[in-house]
Chains A and B, each alone.
Chain A
Amino acid sequence: MVGQQLVGNLIQGLVLGGVYGMATMGLSLIFGVLRVINVGHGAFIMVGAFITMWMFTALGLIPIIAIPVALIVGMALGFLFFYTAVRRLINAPELASLLATFAMGMLLEEVIKIIFGTEFRGYNWVVGKLTLPITVLPMSKVYAFVGSVAIATLLYIWFNKTRAGTAVRSVVEDSEGARVCGVNVDWVYALSFAIGIGLTVVSGILLTMFIPVGINPYMGGQYTLKAFVIAVLGGLGSPYGAFFGGVIFGLIENGSYTLFALIPGVVPFALTRFLSFVILLVILLIKPTGLLGAK
């Protein structure tokens, strides 16, 4: 009985984990290239969630159409924040970039709050169900998972097969060396930041499939924290590591929830969160390059 429930929850966790992974790729890309931690990460996810919710409820457009819109909005926000602030903080002490990105998140939260208010909202995209022997998955979640895998693959191809992607990789390796070889390092910084933010905003769309009534200006905080754990799991700075870190995290989150629920007198949901931060600390201590890190 418990075994069946566990397997069912793990399948759900796998699907959610893929989306978590995609939602962390932007954070890892930005850290990998610019060495800046985006503490306002969750706020950009929130923006994506609001874009898709607004398009669905006000315009009747399905979330798939929201993806290009979110990507454009996200990249525009990325370029805007990069040229106004982040550019000057790349080599500044952590203090400055941590606080600045936090303030960016705060700014987005407050703007969305003024437009939409603080009550929890949501929408439900009904497109059938996928019935497996053990558990039932709504098709919307399946699409979100497929979307995450597709986006992660596209990023992989862009990174490894195009000129721009090669330039980004060269900056990650050695920014001075790349500059000497004629790579426009400042443009690589700007582009990576914009793509990172764009991916994060898009991931907000995919995440709304899992939170039918959880859309709120301040919803991002918990995703920032989850993204930190996932990014560290996958090795900070590695976008693909982040994707697989997300899958592992989704499995751990759902699996441990099932097991914690067996212990009487505790709150399994909170213990799941506690466990994730224990994992974070353990990995930072014993293998800061992440579970999949090569170095």
Chain B
Amino acid sequence: MRAQREKYYPLIPVLAGYLILFLIGREVTGMWQLMAMIAFYCALGQAFNIFLGMTGYVDFGYVAFLGVGTYGMALSISRLWRVEGLGIGIIPIGLVLAMVMAGLLSVAVGAVALRLRGAYFAIATIGVNEGFRYLIEGAKIWGGSEGIIFSGQMKKAFGKATASALSTFWADVMVFSIAVIAACITIYYMRGKIGYALTALREDEDAAKVMGINVTKYKIIAFITSSSLAGLLGASAWALKLTYVFPPDAFEIHYTVEAIIIVLLGGAGTLLGPIVGGLVYGLSKYWLAVIMPGFQLLIFAPIIIFIIVAFPEGVIGWVKRRIRGTALQNYFL
């Protein structure tokens, strides 16, 4: 029983981290937006890490799942707002729709792309992201390139005060929750059968196959989980917060790159990595935007290259190596 509980000790620093971020946002005036942004990056990294960190496959089209999730919420609000008696119930419907749509897309993508490995997988996923965007624009699906703007409908459906509270507060609370859910799923997977299977796969896929591990099954599970969480994140952090969706923004490849940076910075395949990566990335992005606006990317680019070359294991990977064999190691994963 005690061993059963000890397995989940590494969740303690993660949950404490999110709680501290949340409390700083609530208690210190003017900090909520910054903390919400950091929470978004942490959640993005945490969700992305479930697939990338555990399998070693680089999904370069990850942002597509956030984009589709954004559309899920946008469609639910813009199509259902007139329906009597739904009221605030539209939001859970939107979240479920976002998750289902992202999940379905991930099944379709997974069926095709997960047969490929390494560089071919990365290229295929970029193709899916771009292809989906141009399908929406080209065939004029869901408003085509004009996108969906639903701030007016949100105000009419929920009232001005509620709509504004949804955008400025509840959307961010959802982001925090998604980050925590993603962290819990991560540790559940890591400590379970799927974690061992994926570790074997990451180290040597062919050997794992020969050992009788159903690698495809576990890859797909990790892929769908990670993608559905991305859908939820899109529905809350993008749709509810911005109250519009345009294809070029929803499928912008830079968000995938940000997710990769966060995971790599913190340490791929670690539980605590994404929160550290998200914190460092979010804070430095914010700080650079304040002290030298317009030059953030110029400064970031060489730093990224330096980190990849010098610290490929990330902050938590490095810490884990230093504390191996000490009492602390039970709390770091």
Binding site for B on A (CB under 8 A): 31, 35, 37, 39, 84-85, 88-89, 92-96, 98-100, 102-104, 106-107, 109-111, 114, 221, 225, 228-229, 232, 236, 260, 265-274, 277-278, 280-281, 284-285, 288
Contact = CB atoms under 8 A, between A and B. Distances in A.
A281 B127 contact: yes
A274 B140 CA distance: 12
A114 B293 CA distance: 12
Contacts of B144: 267
B260 A93 contact: no
A271 B308 contact: no
Interface in B96-155: 112-113, 115-116, 118-120, 122-124, 126-128, 130-131, 134-135, 137-140, 144-145
Contacts of B56: 93, 95
A42 B140 CA distance: 28
Contact of B119 (A31, A111, A229, A285): A31
Contacts of A93: 56
Query: 3 tightest A-B contacts by CB?
Result: A277-B131, A270-B138, A271-B138
Contact of A225 (B118, B126, B140, B309): B126
Nearest to A109: B297
A190 to B, nearest CB: 16
Contacts of B113: 281
B225 to A, nearest CB: 19
A281 B125 CA distance: 9
B123 A284 contact: yes
A111 B298 contact: yes
Contacts of B116: 284-285, 288
Contact of A85 (B135, B137, B305): B305
A95 B127 contact: no
B202 to A, nearest CB: 9
A98 B131 contact: no
B127 A273 contact: no
A84 B302 CA distance: 10
B298 A107 contact: yes
Nearest to B253: A221
B302 to A, nearest CB: 6
Interface of A is mostly: helix
Given A37-B122, A95-B58, A95-B268, A274 B134 contact: yes
B138 A37 contact: no
A109 B302 CA distance: 12
Given A88-B309, A95-B264, A278-B131, A266 B139 contact: yes
A85 B309 contact: yes
B10 interface: no
A94 B260 contact: no
Contact of B130 (A85, A107, A269, A277): A277
B137 A267 contact: yes
B206 to A, nearest CB: 16
Contacts of B119: 31, 35, 37, 94, 236
22 contacts: A35-B119, A85-B308, A89-B309, A92-B312, A94-B118, A95-B56, A96-B264, A99-B260, A99-B308, A100-B304, A103-B302, A106-B304, A110-B295, A267-B144, A270-B137, A273-B138, A274-B134, A278-B131, A281-B128, A281-B131, A284-B127, A285-B115
A91 to B, nearest CB: 12
Contacts of A236: 119-120, 123
Interface in B30-59: 52, 56, 58
Nearest to A288: B120
B288 to A, nearest CB: 12
Given A107-B298, A281-B112, A281-B124, 9 more contacts: A37-B123, A84-B305, A92-B308, A236-B123, A273-B131, A278-B131, A284-B123, A284-B127, A288-B116
Nearest to A93: B56
A194 to B, nearest CB: 17
Nearest to B252: A221
A285 to B, nearest CB: 6
A101 B224 CA distance: 28
A236 B52 CA distance: 23
